């Protein structure tokens, strides 16, 4: 029951859920939360850290309010069957899954099967593909299991994903698994805050760098760290912050492995000489993680559920919503640290791969936080002669720069279809393909780092046709005002869908006109990253588009219906960085 002074949750509509009504509540500054969301509400039990496994074809899941504690801090959570993360669902390729989901909340809920190829009515996005699950109701998802691999599921209602409503999915192959190992562990990475995500949004709207406690300082300047004085002045004139890597940081987040913080020390066992498969899911709301196991090479064998030709590396930046499968071969060492470090290095979590329970691996020191560069602004100056007095028109703060060139950060000629309203602070003047670039913050580390260009599909791409048309999609923002959009428009009921004809082959180029990476996810489809020779290009459902850069993929629109297409940073999506893709027989 709602407290008398707390308004009942607003009705969920396509506008409110997907486009900004959740945002409207979040940035309407006066938004309060229902009584059940308050710490200390009677009748809400604590959530268990970690998850059990449910196997078979028929499942019963109950979504309910809980409390969750880690690192000595506790707050409201929304969980499934009382655990955070939610239970592991273990399915088998070639069967039919029936998943009955009961809602014990006092607001609507939903579950989306991230990366699974399901009928659009079963995709679980209120306002697009189904009406949502109202309080007290049960909805049964039923769909054929067409694939195998590592996936996950999460709420697509409000901010429930950020407060615990996510869990892993493993789909076993119909026959023998060529990637089978002696042992496997499922590892779910996530971020957790005692501050409700609506409150996080409110503070970011007031000051976009609210959670950034790693800004450059005068002391750092005098010590010669980070940017030079001229660079700092130039970035200040642009009202841009070279340390603005993550919106929500370790200043409020605890980082988790399977619901465990570093002190709780989640442990996966191994025996020396075994091949161990790690199925890693980044289920965080706002954190891209640098994943490594110091002393062990990572052999990448699958990305977003799809097998890839094995490639060995030492570190992988796993973007929000991506999954990777790694094979490791531990030696006769008692324990190894499994390290997931936030992209901005404001925090990390350490779990342990050990020969027996109770062993602790060392916690590595946090590395120096990254600094953005002109390349992250979409200005690739390689090969350009530099000279004094040349002007970068921003309009019109000056910046030392490129001889013979005057550049505008809002030049409409680089994106003539993007309306230059208050939500578009910049357009990358020279965006380049960055699929082969090391990701943000890992450019200069002295070991191997995976790039998308390293990935090659194990199996031949299923559709060899060249694309029949090309489209560009700009990822746009006014970061200072915390406004996020696609093609200059925040998602609303009036936003026109992106139309595709059933069966057509299209090249989509994502152009990041912001200074943050964006993990972009397309529901209901896999696409092929345009990197390397055609034929065995990596097939994914999520691609992280680096700042100021481009990423292209080829898509066969083979799933009829309406599909969400969005940034998987939860607050960016709720602020409007989302569209609907419509696949019809006649588009």
Confidence of residue 312 (pLDDT cuts 50, 70, 90): very high
Q: Are 236 and 330 in contact (CB under 8 A)?
A: no
Record the tokens describing residue 297, joined without a space: 């090479």
pLDDT of residue 212: 76
Instruction: Tell me phi and psi for residue 335, to 5 degrees.
Output: -155, 145
What percent of the chain stands above pLDDT 90? Answer: 72
Q: What is the 3-state secondary structure (H, E, C) of 235-279?
A: HHHCCCCCCCCCCCCCCCEEEEECCECCCCCCEEECCCCCCEEEE
Strands (E), 513-584: 518-522, 527-529, 539-540, 542-545, 549-556, 561-567, 578-584
> Which of 1-15, 327-341, 570-584 shows the lowest per-residue confidence on average (mean pLDDT)?
1-15
| CA pair distance 286, 249, nearest whole angstrom | 8
| CA pair distance 110, 571, nearest whole angstrom | 18
pLDDT of residue 377: 60
Average pLDDT over the chain, rounded to an integer: 86
Q: Are 161 and 568 in contact (CB under 8 A)?
A: no
- pLDDT tens sequence across 157-206: 999 999 999 999 999 999 999 999 999 999 999 999 999 999 999 999 98
Q: What is the mean pLDDT of residues 393-400?
A: 37
pLDDT of residue 35: 28
Burial class (CB in 10 A: 0-12, 13-18, 19+), 179: middle
Record the tokens describing residue 114, joined without a space: 């991230």
Q: Does the CA dihedral 476-479-481-483 come out positive or negative?
A: positive
More confident residue, 551 or 14: 551
Confidence of residue 27 (pLDDT cuts 50, 70, 90): very low
| CA pair distance 419, 127, nearest whole angstrom | 26
**Whether residue 302 has pLDDT greater than 80:** yes
**Whether residue 508 has pLDDT greater than 90:** yes
Confidence of residue 208 (pLDDT cuts 50, 70, 90): confident
What DSSP string runs through 336-398? EEEEEEETTSS-EEEEEEESSTT-----PPPPPPP---GGGGTB--TTPPEETT--EESSS--
pLDDT of residue 49: 87
**Whether residue 214 has pLDDT greater than 50:** yes
Kind and range of the H or E element at 86?
none
**Whether residue 18 has pLDDT greater than 50:** no
All residues at 6 or more sequence positions from 92 whose CB lies less than 8 Å from its CB, including other chains: 57, 145, 171, 172, 174
Q: Closest Cα to residue 163, out of 191, 136, 188? A: 191
- pLDDT tens sequence across 442-496: 999 999 999 999 999 999 999 999 999 999 999 999 988 999 999 999 998 789 9
pLDDT of residue 69: 93
Q: Closest Cα to residue 166, out of 190, 147, 186, 148? A: 190
pLDDT of residue 392: 44
pLDDT of residue 220: 63
| CA pair distance 421, 75, nearest whole angstrom | 38
Confidence of residue 227 (pLDDT cuts 50, 70, 90): low
Nearest-10 Cα torsion for 400, 405, 411, 413: -160
Q: What is the pTM assigned to this prediction? A: 0.86
| CA pair distance 566, 486, nearest whole angstrom | 9
More confident residue, 529 or 47: 529
Q: Closest Cα to residue 567, out of 538, 540, 545? A: 545
pLDDT of residue 394: 40
> Which of 130-134, 230-234, 329-333, 562-566 shows the lowest per-residue confidence on average (mean pLDDT)?
230-234
Q: Which of 12-26, 180-194, 360-374 has the highest mean pLDDT?
A: 180-194
Q: Closest Cα to residue 28, out of 488, 484, 575? A: 575
All residues at 6 or more sequence positions from 5 whose CB lies less than 8 Å from its CB, including other chains: 32
Q: Are 266 and 50 in contact (CB under 8 A)?
A: yes
Pairing of strands 166-172, 88-92: parallel
Q: Does the CA dihedral 576-164-360-263 come out positive or negative?
A: positive
What DSSP string runs through 179-211? T--SEEEEEEEEEEESS-HHHHHHHHHH-TTTT
Q: What is the mean pLDDT of residues 34-42?
A: 30
Kind and range of the H or E element at 477?
strand 469-478
Q: Are 549 and 512 in contact (CB under 8 A)?
A: yes
**Whether residue 14 has pLDDT greater than 50:** no
pLDDT of residue 197: 95
| CA pair distance 433, 261, nearest whole angstrom | 36
């Amino acid at each position: 029951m709602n407290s008398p002074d707390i308004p009942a949750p607003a009705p969920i509509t396509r506008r409110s859920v997907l486009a900004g009504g959740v945002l409207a509540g979040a940035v309407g500054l006066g938004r309060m939360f229902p009584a059940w969301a308050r710490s200390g509400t009677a009748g809400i039990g604590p959530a268990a850290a970690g998850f059990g496994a449910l196997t078979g074809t028929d499942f019963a899941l109950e979504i309910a309010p809980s409390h969750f504690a880690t690192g000595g801090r506790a707050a409201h959570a929304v969980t499934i069957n009382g655990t955070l993360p939610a239970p592991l669902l273990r399915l088998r390729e070639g069967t039919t899954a029936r998943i009955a989901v009961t809602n014990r909340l006092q607001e609507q809920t939903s579950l989306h099967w991230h990366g699974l190829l399901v009928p659009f009515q079963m995709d679980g996005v209120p306002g697009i593909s189904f009406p949502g699950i109202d309080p007290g109701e049960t909805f049964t998802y039923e769909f054929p299991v067409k694939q195998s691999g590592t996936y996950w599921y999460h709420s697509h209602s409000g901010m429930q994903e950020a407060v615990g409503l996510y869990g892993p999915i493993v789909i076993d192959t119909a026959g023998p698994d060529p990637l089978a190992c002696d042992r496997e562990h499922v590892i779910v990475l996530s971020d957790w805050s005692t501050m409700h995500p609506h409150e996080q949004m409110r503070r970011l709207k007031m000051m976009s760098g609210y959670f950034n406690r790693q800004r450059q300082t005068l002391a750092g300047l005098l010590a010669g760290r980070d940017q030079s004085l001229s660079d700092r002045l130039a970035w200040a004139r642009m009202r841009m912050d070279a340390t603005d890597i993550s919106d929500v940081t370790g200043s409020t987040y605890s980082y988790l492995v399977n619901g465990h913080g570093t002190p709780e020390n989640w442990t996966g066992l191994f025996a020396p000489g075994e091949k161990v498969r790690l199925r890693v899911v980044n289920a965080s709301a706002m954190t891209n993680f640098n994943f490594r196991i110091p002393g062990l090479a990572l052999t990448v064998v699958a990305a977003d559920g799809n097998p890839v030709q094995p490639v060995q590396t030492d570190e992988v930046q796993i973007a929000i919503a991506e999954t990777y499968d790694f094979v490791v071969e531990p030696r006769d060492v008692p324990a190894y640290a499994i390290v997931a470090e936030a992209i901005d290095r404001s925090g990390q979590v350490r779990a342990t791969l050990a020969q027996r329970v109770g062993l602790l691996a060392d916690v590595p020191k946090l590395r120096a936080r990254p600094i953005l560069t002109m390349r992250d602004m979409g200005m690739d100056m390689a090969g350009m002669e530099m000279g004094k007095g040349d002007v970068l028109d921003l309009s019109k703060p000056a910046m030392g720069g490129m001889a013979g060139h005057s550049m505008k950060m809002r030049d409409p000629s680089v994106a003539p279809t993007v309306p230059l309203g208050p939500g578009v602070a910049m357009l990358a003047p020279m965006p380049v393909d960055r699929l082969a670039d090391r990701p943000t913050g890992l450019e200069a580390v002295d070991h191997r780092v995976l790039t998308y260009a390293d990935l090659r599909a194990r199996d031949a791409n299923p559709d060899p046709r060249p694309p029949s048309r090309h489209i560009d999609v700009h990822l746009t923002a006014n970061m200072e005002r915390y406004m996020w959009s696609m093609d200059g428009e925040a998602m609303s009921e009036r936003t026109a869908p992106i139309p595709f004809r059933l069966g057509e082959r299209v090249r989509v180029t994502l152009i990041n006109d912001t200074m943050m990476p964006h993990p972009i996810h397309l529901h209901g489809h896999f696409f092929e990253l345009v990197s390397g020779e055609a034929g065995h290009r990596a097939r994914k459902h999520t691609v992280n588009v680096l700042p100021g850069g481009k990423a292209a993929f080829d898509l066969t629109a083979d799933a009829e219906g309406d599909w969400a297409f969005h940034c998987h940073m939860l607050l960016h999506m709720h602020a409007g960085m989302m569209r609907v893709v419509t696949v019809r027989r006649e588009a």
